[in-house]
């Protein structure tokens, strides 16, 4: 039933005007791994996320997710198929409580409609109770249950990031895609996040992680994909990638300094 | 505090606790008694006030319908009155000598709601990608289109009777018992408006309950998610197209019902009643009362219906008493005071007269020292 590969990306391209945001990027993500996606600013990491989750339509290439093609789907269909994401700039439902934020994540896995809402029949009530219970459990899981009734916008920054993860988990994803979850966190918060990510993986989730915090990436990721100017420049285990001269050049501007030496 | 305790508290705070405290019961009984005797109390001042109360309830329904679109889903709709017009004309055409069709009200009201619902989808479908100002302009245009249609649909085939409007519309009638006529019920003498009052009260309560239930449901949360962040809502798997269309459709159908009731109580409709000003008044009720908060919207609707009427009846006597003559006629001063009141409320209470409980609780927490981070 469970094959080894969860997601296959083949030759994904995306162009914005004259900028090649993504050029023929291919990779595979296996079940149960934490797959890192790194690269300098503007390398195309978030673009890849947006193409994967249906916010952008790719110019070329295709995704296969869980054995089925994932092309030209709308974001909500992608979520239904089992990819949940967080955003680089936190996008919570600011004026709703933390609990409600997670409950909205359950939307795609529940089905009460207008008549259920108005008539409040047994099934709807049971579904609502289940939604609330599950949402609360998820808040406990990520560690913001104490602030369940506070508006999302009043949560501390780190808690907001965790709440976004809880909301994404509420959609029962097969792949959890996190866009810079540690951005803006201090060392303690990052440590707590690392433990959370490890917990999530231990509970059987596959994670795609964009992150600038190299210490975090190198310590939790099984494999890492490195993008630069929209192209894949390296892929492999954390150790392999770290010592790849192309990666070092991309991060430290190796080629440029070589040119300077030559001149 | 153990997790179980914390959880219990959360569920209660979320508002779905089973046991209702006696104080709440007492309050409910008190309000019920007050609402039951209100038309007789109002009749002591004059039957006109009973009519005004009935109008207030029609506006409560309208404002609650618009609240779904504007307050819950966050879609600024300036043409909402068009659905009111659709419901009103549906009733007028199917229960008047104009086409000599006389269907009973309990057949037409659902039909009016259904037709308004279809119009809601018709307006919603092409505007799915619009937000804010752009949506406001398109909906404003839509409202005007409906009004202009009603105004001009008397030729080549006379459908709406043009600017003259339709009169002699049937009142609500059950088996020859007309709500419009005065007469005793169970030995108590009732005037026409008083009879309507109780029917309207029942309908208003139904509309309120439906709205409360919609808000606290999977669908209500999806609407609020779209209002807060449409991209995040999509990424969480909400089909924003369907959910938005549902908001337009549900909002419009309440407008349609209110329109049908308006037709029946007035026994006359004309396109004049459905201008842009009406749309703006209903929007003002929603915004002033507290967007997205149902009790607030009800308060806003009642206040904005009563305030101009109170001013109408008090401003001329007041001037007479103060200056011995009337300087500004009631109609003018009414709009003036009305406008000033709106500006004052927006300055002093920008979130509305009665903002939602969550927001209030949050403000309190923010003021407490432990909330300061």
Q: What is the arithmetic mean of pLDDT over B159-188?
A: 81
Judge if B103 and B238 occupy the same domain: yes
> Residue B3 pLDDT more than 50?
no
Q: Distance between CA B54 and CA B265 in Å, rounded? A: 9
Is B55 domain-assigned? yes
From B45, B60, B77, the end of a domain falls on B45
Q: What is the arithmetic mean of pLDDT over B128-149?
A: 90
Judge if B180 and B60 occupy the same domain: yes
Q: Do A107 and B365 touch (CB under 8 A)?
A: no
Q: Distance between CA A167 and CA A160 in Å, rounded? A: 10
Q: Do A110 and B240 touch (CB under 8 A)?
A: no
Is B123 domain-assigned? yes
Q: What is the pLDDT of residue B360?
A: 55
Q: How distant is the alpha carbon of residue A158 from its chain centre?
A: 16
Q: Distance between CA B309 and CA B312 in Å, rounded? A: 5
- Nearby residues of B122 by Cβ (< 8 Å), 6 or more positions away: none
Q: Do B221 and A107 touch (CB under 8 A)?
A: yes
> Residue B80 pLDDT more than 90?
yes
> Residue B60 pLDDT more than 90?
yes
Query: pLDDT for A216-237, tens place per residue?
Result: 998 999 999 999 999 999 999 9
Closest-CA distance of chain A to residue B93, Å: 29
Q: What is the arithmetic mean of pLDDT over A175-187?
A: 91
Q: Do A110 and B218 touch (CB under 8 A)?
A: yes
Q: What is the arithmetic mean of pLDDT over B54-77?
A: 94
Closest-CA distance of chain B to residue A188, Å: 17
Judge if B137 and B285 occupy the same domain: yes
Report the range of poorest mean pLDDT among A5-9, A136-140, B36-40, B146-150. B36-40
Q: Do B358 and A74 touch (CB under 8 A)?
A: no
ipTM: 0.89
Judge if B13 and B151 occupy the same domain: no
Q: What is the pLDDT of residue B175?
A: 72
Closest-CA distance of chain B to residue A55, Å: 8
What is the share, in percent, of chain B residues with pLDDT greater than 90? Answer: 45
From B292, B327, B342, the end of a domain falls on B292
Task: Quickly list DSSP for A165-181.
Answer: HHHHHHT--SEEEEEST
> Residue A199 pLDDT more than 90?
yes
Find the residue in B nearest to A82 (Cα): B237
Is B299 domain-assigned? no
Residues in chain B, overall count? 373
- Nearby residues of B67 by Cβ (< 8 Å), 6 or more positions away: B211, B251, B286, B291, B292, B294, B297
Judge if B244 and B163 occupy the same domain: yes
Is B135 domain-assigned? yes
Q: What is the arithmetic mean of pLDDT over A182-196?
A: 91
Task: Using a CB–CB cutoff of 8 Å, tell me whether B169 touches chain A.
Answer: no
Judge if B40 and B56 occupy the same domain: no
Confidence of residue B9 (pLDDT cuts 50, 70, 90): very low
Is B345 domain-assigned? no
Q: What is the pLDDT of residue B228?
A: 92
What is the residue-averaged pLDDT of chain B?
Answer: 85
Q: Distance between CA B267 and CA B254 in Å, rounded? A: 20
Question: Chain A contacts of B233, Cβ < 8 Å?
Answer: 93, 104
Q: What is the pLDDT of residue B372?
A: 38
Confidence of residue A103 (pLDDT cuts 50, 70, 90): very high
> Residue B351 pLDDT more than 90?
no
From B249, B267, B292, the end of a domain falls on B292
Asked if B179 contacts B106 with a C-beta cutoff of 8 angstroms, the reply is no
Asked if residue B150 has a cis previous peptide bond (ω within 30° of 0), the answer is no
Q: What is the arithmetic mean of pLDDT over A60-72?
A: 90
Task: Using a CB–CB cutoff of 8 Å, tell me whether B148 touches chain A.
Answer: no
Judge if B223 and B237 occupy the same domain: yes
Judge if B120 and B259 occupy the same domain: yes
Is B323 domain-assigned? no
Confidence of residue B12 (pLDDT cuts 50, 70, 90): very low
Domain total of chain B: 2
Three state DSSP letters for chain B: CCHHHHHHHHHHHCCCCCCCCHHHHHHHHHHHHHHHHHHHHHHHHCHHHHHHHHHHHHHHHHHHHHHHHHHHCCCCCCCCHHHHHHHHHHHHHHEECCCCEECCHHHHHHHHHHHHHHHHHHHHHHHCCCCHHHHHHHHHHHHHHHHHHHHHCCCCCCCCCHHHCEECCCCCEECCEECCCCEEECCEEECHHHHHHHHHHHHHHHHHHHHHHHHCCHHHHHHHHHHHCHHHHHHCCCCHHHHHHHHHHHHHHHHHHHHHHHHHHHCEECHHHHCHHHHHHHHHHHHHHHCCCHHHHHHHHHHHHHHHHHHHHHHHHHHHHHHCCCCCCHHHHHHHHHHHHHHHHHHHCCCCCCCCHHHHHHHHHHHCHHHCC
Q: Do B221 and A103 touch (CB under 8 A)?
A: yes
H or E stretch covering A209: strand A206-210
Judge if B188 and B160 occupy the same domain: yes
Is B201 domain-assigned? yes
Q: What is the pLDDT of residue A53?
A: 92
Closest-CA distance of chain A to residue B16, Å: 10
Question: Chain A contacts of B16, Cβ < 8 Å?
Answer: 128, 132
Q: What is the pLDDT of residue B359?
A: 53
Give the domain CATH number at B179.
Answer: 1.10.3470
What is the residue-averaged pLDDT of chain A?
Answer: 89
Is B152 domain-assigned? yes
> Residue B14 pLDDT more than 70?
no
B114-129 core/surface letters (b: 16 or more CB in 10 A; e: else): bbbbebbeebbeebee
Give the closest of A97, A103, A132 to B11, CB-based. Answer: A132
Report the range of poorest mean pLDDT among A251-255, B48-52, B193-197. A251-255
Q: Do B218 and A140 touch (CB under 8 A)?
A: no
Judge if B122 and B148 occupy the same domain: yes
Judge if B282 and B196 occupy the same domain: yes
Q: What is the pLDDT of residue B365?
A: 53
Q: What is the arithmetic mean of pLDDT over B182-205?
A: 84
Interface of B with A in 189-248 (CB under 8 A): 210, 213-214, 217-222, 224-225, 228-229, 231-240, 246
Confidence of residue B212 (pLDDT cuts 50, 70, 90): very high
Look at A254 and A53; give whichever has higher pLDDT: A53
Confidence of residue B5 (pLDDT cuts 50, 70, 90): very low
Q: What is the pLDDT of residue A251?
A: 81
Query: pLDDT for B234-259, tens place per residue?
Result: 999 999 999 999 999 999 999 999 99
Confidence of residue B361 (pLDDT cuts 50, 70, 90): low
Query: pLDDT for B266-292, tens place per residue?
Result: 999 999 999 988 998 899 899 888 888
Q: What is the pLDDT of residue B338?
A: 76
Q: Distance between CA B360 and CA B362 in Å, rounded? A: 5
Q: What is the pLDDT of residue B137?
A: 92
Closest-CA distance of chain A to residue B56, Å: 24
Q: What is the pLDDT of residue A35?
A: 94
The domain containing residue B6 runs over which residues? 1-45
Question: Chain A contacts of B245, Cβ < 8 Å?
Answer: none
Q: What is the pLDDT of residue A254?
A: 59
Give the residues across from A250 on adjacent strands: none
Strongest mean pLDDT among B40-44, B191-195, B211-215: B211-215
> Residue B225 pLDDT more than 90?
yes
Nearest of A45, A32, A21, A170 to residue B235 by alpha carbon: A170
Give the closest of B218, B219, B234 to A76, CB-based. Answer: B234
Q: What is the pLDDT of residue B119?
A: 94
Judge if B164 and B197 occupy the same domain: yes
Q: How many CB atoms lie within 10 A of CB B171?
A: 18
Q: What is the pLDDT of residue B152?
A: 92
Question: Chain A contacts of B366, Cβ < 8 Å?
Answer: 154
Q: Distance between CA B272 and CA B259 in Å, rounded? A: 14
């Amino acid at each position: 039933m469970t094959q080894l590969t969860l997601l296959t990306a083949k030759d994904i391209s995306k162009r914005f005007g004259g900028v090649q945001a993504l050029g023929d990027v291919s990779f595979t993500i296996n079940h149960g791994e934490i797959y890192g996606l790194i690269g300098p600013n503007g390398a195309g990491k978030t673009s890849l996320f947006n193409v994967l989750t249906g916010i952008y339509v790719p110019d070329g290439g295709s995704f296969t997710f869980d054995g089925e093609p994932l092309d030209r789907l709308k974001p909500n269909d992608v979520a239904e198929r089992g990819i949940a994401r967080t955003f680089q700039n936190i996008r919570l439902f600011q004026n709703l409580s933390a609990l409600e934020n997670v409950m909205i994540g359950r939307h795609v896995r529940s089905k009460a409609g207008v008549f259920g809402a108005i008539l409040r029949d047994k099934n709807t009530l049971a579904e609502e109770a289940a939604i609330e219970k599950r949402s609360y459990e998820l808040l406990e899981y990520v560690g913001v249950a104490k602030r369940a009734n506070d508006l999302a916008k009043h949560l501390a920054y780190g808690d907001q990031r965790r709440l976004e993860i809880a909301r994404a988990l509420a959609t029962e994803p097969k792949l959890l895609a996190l866009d810079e979850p540690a951005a803006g966190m201090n060392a303690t918060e990052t440590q707590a996040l690392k433990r959370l990510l490890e917990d999530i993986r231990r509970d059987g989730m596959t994670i795609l992680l964009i992150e600038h915090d190299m210490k975090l990436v190198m310590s939790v990721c099984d494999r890492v994909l490195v993008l630069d100017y929209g192209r894949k420049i390296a892929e492999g285990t954390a150790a392999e990638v770290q010592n790849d001269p192309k990666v070092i050049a991309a991060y430290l501007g190796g080629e440029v300094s070589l040119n300077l030496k030559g001149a | 505090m153990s997790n179980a305790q914390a959880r219990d508290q959360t569920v209660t705070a979320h508002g779905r606790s089973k046991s209702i405290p006696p104080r709440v019961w007492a309050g409910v009984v008190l309000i019920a008694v007050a609402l039951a005797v209100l038309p007789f109390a109002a009749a002591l001042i004059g039957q006109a006030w009973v009519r005004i109360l009935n109008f207030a309830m029609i506006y409560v329904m309208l404002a609650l319908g618009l609240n779904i679109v504007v307050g819950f889903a966050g879609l600024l709709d300036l043409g909402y009155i068009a659905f009111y017009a659709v419901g009103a004309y549906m009733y007028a055409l199917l229960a008047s000598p104009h086409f000599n069709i006389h269907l009973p009200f309990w057949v037409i009201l659902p039909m009016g709601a259904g037709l308004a619902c279809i119009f809601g989808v018709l307006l919603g479908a092409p505007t799915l990608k619009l937000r804010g100002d752009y949506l406001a302009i398109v909906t404003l245009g839509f409202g005007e289109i409906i009004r202009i249609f009603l105004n001009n649909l008397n030729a080549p085939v006379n459908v709406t009777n043009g600017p003259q409007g339709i009169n002699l519309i049937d009142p609500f009638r059950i088996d020859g018992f007309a709500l419009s006529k005065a007469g005793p019920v169970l030995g108590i003498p009732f005037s026409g408006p008083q009879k309507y009052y109780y029917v309207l009260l029942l309908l208003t309560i139904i509309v309120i309950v439906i709205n409360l239930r919609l808000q606290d449901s999977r669908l209500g949360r999806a609407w609020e998610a779209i209002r807060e962040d449409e991209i995040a809502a999509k990424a969480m798997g909400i089909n924003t197209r369907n959910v938005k269309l549902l908001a337009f459709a549900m909002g419009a159908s309440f407008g349609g019902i209110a329109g049908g009731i308006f037709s029946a109580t007035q026994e006359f409709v004309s396109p004049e009643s459905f201008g842009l000003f009406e749309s703006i008044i209903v929007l003002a009720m929603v915004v002033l009362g507290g967007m997205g908060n149902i009790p607030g919207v009800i308060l806003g609707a009642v206040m904005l219906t009563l305030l101009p009427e109170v001013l109408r009846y008090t401003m001329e006597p007041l001037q007479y008493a103060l200056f011995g003559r009337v300087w500004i006629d009631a109609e003018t001063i009414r709009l003036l005071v009305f406008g000033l009141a709106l500006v004052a409320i927006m300055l002093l209470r920008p979130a509305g007269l009665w903002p939602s409980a969550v927001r209030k609780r949050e403000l309190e927490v923010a003021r407490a020292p432990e909330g300061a981070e």
